[in-house]
Structure 1
Amino acid sequence: MAKQTFEPAVTVYRGGIVETTHAAHIAVVDADGRLLYAWGDPHRLTLVRSAAKPAQALAVIETGALDRFGFDDADLALMCGSNSSEDRHVARTRQMLAKIAAQESDMRCGGHPPISDAVYRDWIKRDFTPGPACSNCSGKHVGMLAAARAMAVPIDDYHLPEHPLQIRVRHTVAQACGLPDEGVQWAIDGCNLPTPAFELDRLARLYASLADAADLTGAQGSGAVPARTAALARIYRAMTSHPEMVAGEGRFCTTLMEAFGGALVGKVGADGSYAVGVRASAQTARHTGEAGQRALGFAVKMEDGNQAALHAVVVEVLAQLGIGTPAQFEALARFHAPRISNTKGIETGGVSAKVKLAAQE
């Protein structure tokens, strides 16, 4: 079988010479999941990794765990995040454990080097050995523990695919993406929990649903919409109100959501996946046509998992869709077209996104 080839989405230059190129797949959909624009293969089967966390958090909310244990929006944002293991992230994880009368030893994730270089330097200086509460997925794991408690099922093996909680999570994730249960494949993530795989446009649809729920709830109030819509809007509000809990200082997810001030939600997944949900506006209406002002969602997968290239593509998609102001793009400039410098601080090259979204019939 011939290997598929794709036009490079990102080019990295050094001294004006092409050093590396990076292929990407992009799907842009409306709030109904209709494919509007694409690049590469918008239906690529994709392990979305941590970009699935909002859908997994939806399952936690629907057990009643958040209300039962008094979790607030910052707690929910941490459940949806891939945090930098900053002191505020670790402290909140431990506070959440206390709310459910659980211990760090009950968490089935492991410690690892932090995403943040500043945190890593601090840990090295202190000869600190991270535990489960220091995981970038700590919030998701505490959320799963809380959900197991709310379901009155054992917490010892909450992470296993056959556990009643994970069976419920699988069903919820599939529904949130508009798929039957068998339409989602599953593997084991780096944090030891199941992680889903489905077509890329379904990830875009999930995030469009988050933004659409925020629009519907904002217009009608949470009491006037279905419970699931209210739960999706709650996730959107938590992530956009507390972007520092979704990632951390200087990270792309945090910077993106801070720049847009609640107009969009964004979340990374390991190895080059990303998804964005954009609330309805005059800017989205240019693409949703007769449907009027509706939310949009888009998802990106870098074929080689390169993160710098991923960030450049995400910002380029926003630019091509006309979503954002000059000030917002200025806040994202270091991600859109980062310059490459050597160890003496001399600029030696740069990164350039080359995607051109193609309208779909």
Structure 2
Amino acid sequence: MLLDAAPLAEVWRGPIAESEHVGHVVVAGPGGDVAEAWGAPGTVVLPRSSAKMIQALPLVASGAAEAAGLTARQLALACASHEGAPRHADGVADWLAARGLSEADLRCGPQPPRDKVLKHEMLRAGETPTQLHNNCSGKHAGFLTLMQHLGAGAEYHEADHPVQRAALEAFEAVTDAPSPCYGIDGCSAPNFATTMQAMARAMATFATAHTRSGALDRAAARLVRAMIAHPKDVAGEGRACTLLMQAAREPAALKTGAEGFFVAILPERGLGVAVKAADGATRAAESAIAAVLVRLGVLDPAHPEVARFLRPEIRNFRGLVTGRIEPAAALLA
């Protein structure tokens, strides 16, 4: 992972660059070829939650979403790493209820909500987090909807289940490469490996999907539209995905993933972007994706919501600014 990695961001304290994050960035053009790259495009990675829109492709392409009457907001939730706020948990609960399902049918596991207000309210009330609060509950609601459509068994998260076989087929189609292996994600579903170049190519495939008419392309275009239309359901208040999508000068679908992954889909340009911080640092991935999008003219560096991720301040326990994170100069040049 560190081999041939490029600088992504520096952490400054006063006049000293105290530490440095390195990793890989690939921008793929409309045809899927590498347009720009920093680091090693051939690095094999697990894209983690950045691949959720790919995992949602069979839900739409199969006709399951249409048959279930899913809304654009529900499709955004299927692609989300949400914060477990009431809008997210209640949205997934309503989705499941409409399908004759419940929280017990999920296989993602319970997770405390990232929404701080709700988390503190639940602690004061002695309430226990449920699977609805899991950041992946929307994705799993999508899996369950596809499971019903296929008439398949309840353990939809298992790698040999028809739902996951469909997810793998879609993954290899949009990356245009066989996946060499998979790891089990935090939500218990398989997460398929690929290269940085192939992941950027997949995002470019999503970015250009509206120009084609195949079933998978129509599904990809619909998911991109849903994400752009419902940024608060993709992540939530204060989250980079949501805020950067809202700040963008043009339509853009952004998605974070665990261990320092981040992707961008730019439909007006046909570009796809993939970022991976080698040490798994979210702060590095957020700064790097913001820098690349500033470089491309998608984001304005002076916009306050862009600045908070591009060059975030570091504060001490008294609230004093003690440093900042600076994106690598090469990403902005």
2: CA distance, partners of 1:152 / 1:6: 45
Equivalents in 2 of 1:70, 1:261: separation in Å?
31
Q: Relative to 1, partners in 2 of residues 1:129 and 1:345: Cα closer, same or farther, differing over 3 Å?
A: same
Partner of 1:77: 76
1:295 aligned partner: 270
When normalised by structure 2's length, the TM-score is 0.94
Q: 1:161 corresponds to which residue?
A: 159
Match for residue 351 of structure 1 among 322, 325, 328: 325
Shift of 1:163: 1.0
Residue 234, structure 1, aligned to residue 222, structure 2: yes
Residue in 1 that maps onto 2:240:
252
Separation in structure 2 between the aligned mates of residue 146 and residue 261 of structure 1, nearest angstrom: 34
Distance 2:84 2:110 in 1: 10
1:333 aligns to 2:332 (yes or no): no
Partners in 1 of 2:22 and 2:301 — Cα distance?
27
- Aligned twin of 2:62: 63
Shift in Å at residue 36 of structure 1? 1.2
Aligned partner of 1:312 in structure 2 is 287
Q: How many Å separate the matches in 1 of 2:252 and 2:4?
A: 32
Q: Which residue of 1 aligns with 2:204?
A: 208
Alpha-carbon distance between aligned partners in 1 of 2:66 and 2:6, rounded to the nearest angstrom: 48
Report the alpha carbon displacement of residue 57 of structure 1 after superposing the two structures with TM: 0.4
Partner of 1:271: 259
Secondary structure, aligned partner of 1:166: helix
- Is the 1:240–1:261 Cα contact (8 Å) retained in structure 2? no
In the alignment, the residues of structure 2 paired with residue 116 and residue 210 of structure 1 have an alpha-carbon distance, to the nearest angstrom, of 29
- Aligned-residue offset at 1:344: 1.3
Separation in structure 2 between the aligned mates of residue 48 and residue 89 of structure 1, nearest angstrom: 23
Q: Shift of the alpha carbon at 1:121? A: 2.2
In the alignment, the residues of structure 1 paired with residue 332 and residue 288 of structure 2 have an alpha-carbon distance, to the nearest angstrom, of 14
| Percent of residue pairs identical | 35
Shift of 1:313: 0.6
After TM superposition, the structure 1 = structure 2 runs for residues 113-152 of structure 1, keeping only pairs within 5 Å, are 113-152=112-151
Instruction: State whether residues 85 and 114 of structure 2, in contact with CA within 8 Å, keep that contact through their aligned partners in structure 1.
Output: no
2: CA distance, partners of 1:184 / 1:174: 10
Task: Tell me the CA shift for residue 358 of structure 1.
Answer: 11
Q: Distance in 1 between matches of 2:133 and 2:332?
A: 42
Which whole-Å deviations, capped at 9, do the CAs of 1:297-326 have from their partners, x for residues lacking one? 110000011111111111111122233346
Q: Is the 8 A contact 2:78 2:138 kept in 1?
A: yes
Amino acid at match of 1:209: T
RMSD: 2.0
Query: In the TM superposition, what is the alpha-carbon distance from 1:262 to its structure 2 partner?
Result: 5.5
**What are the Cα deviations for residues 221-277 of structure 1, in whole angstroms up to 9, with x where unaligned?**
xxxx22222111100000000011100011000011111266211100101011101
Secondary structure of 1:234 counterpart: helix
SS at match of 1:351: strand
Judged with a 3 Å threshold, the aligned counterparts in structure 2 of structure 1 residues 262 and 228 are, in CA distance, closer, same or farther, namely: farther
Out of 78-87 and 202-211, give the one that drifted further. Answer: 202-211
Q: Offset of 1:122 from its aligned partner?
A: 2.4
1:312 match: secondary structure: helix
Match of residue 291 from structure 1: none
**Alpha-carbon distance change, 355 to 100 in structure 1, aligned in 2, over 3 angstroms:** farther
Give the Cα separation in 1 of the matches to 2:274 and 2:209: 18
1:137–1:191 CA contact under 8 A, matched in 2: yes
1:96 pairs with 2:84: no
Q: Secondary structure at the match of 1:113?
A: coil
Structure 2 counterpart of 1:56, which letter? Q
2:180 & 2:74 partners in 1: Cα distance? 27
CA gap 1:358/1:326 in 2 versus in 1, 3 angstroms: closer
Contact 1:48 1:197 (8 Å CA) reproduced = yes
Q: Per-residue CA shift, 1:122-145, capped at 9, x if unaligned?
A: 222222211111110000111101
Q: Which amino acid is the alignment partner of residue 21 of structure 1?
A: E
Q: Secondary structure at the match of 2:56?
A: helix
State the alpha-carbon separation in 2 of the partners of residues 103 and 326 from structure 1.
44
Query: Partners of 2:214 and 2:4 in 1: how far apart?
Result: 44
Q: Secondary structure at 1:356's aligned position in 2?
A: helix
SS in 2 for 1:20: strand
The unaligned stretches of length 5 or more in structure 1 are 218-224, 281-293
Alignment: residue pair count: 333
**Structural mapping, 1:181-196, within 5 Å:** 183-196=179-192
For the residues of structure 2 that align with 1:345 and 1:250, how far apart are their CA atoms? 18
- Superposed displacement of residue 41, structure 1: 1.2
Q: Does residue 34 in structure 1 map to residue 8 in structure 2?
A: no
**1:1-26, Cα deviation, whole Å (9 max, x unpaired):** x9736453211111222222111200
1:59 deviates by 1.2
Residues 202 and 272 in structure 2, CA contact (< 8 A), matched pair in contact too? yes
Deviates more, 1:184-193 or 1:254-263: 254-263
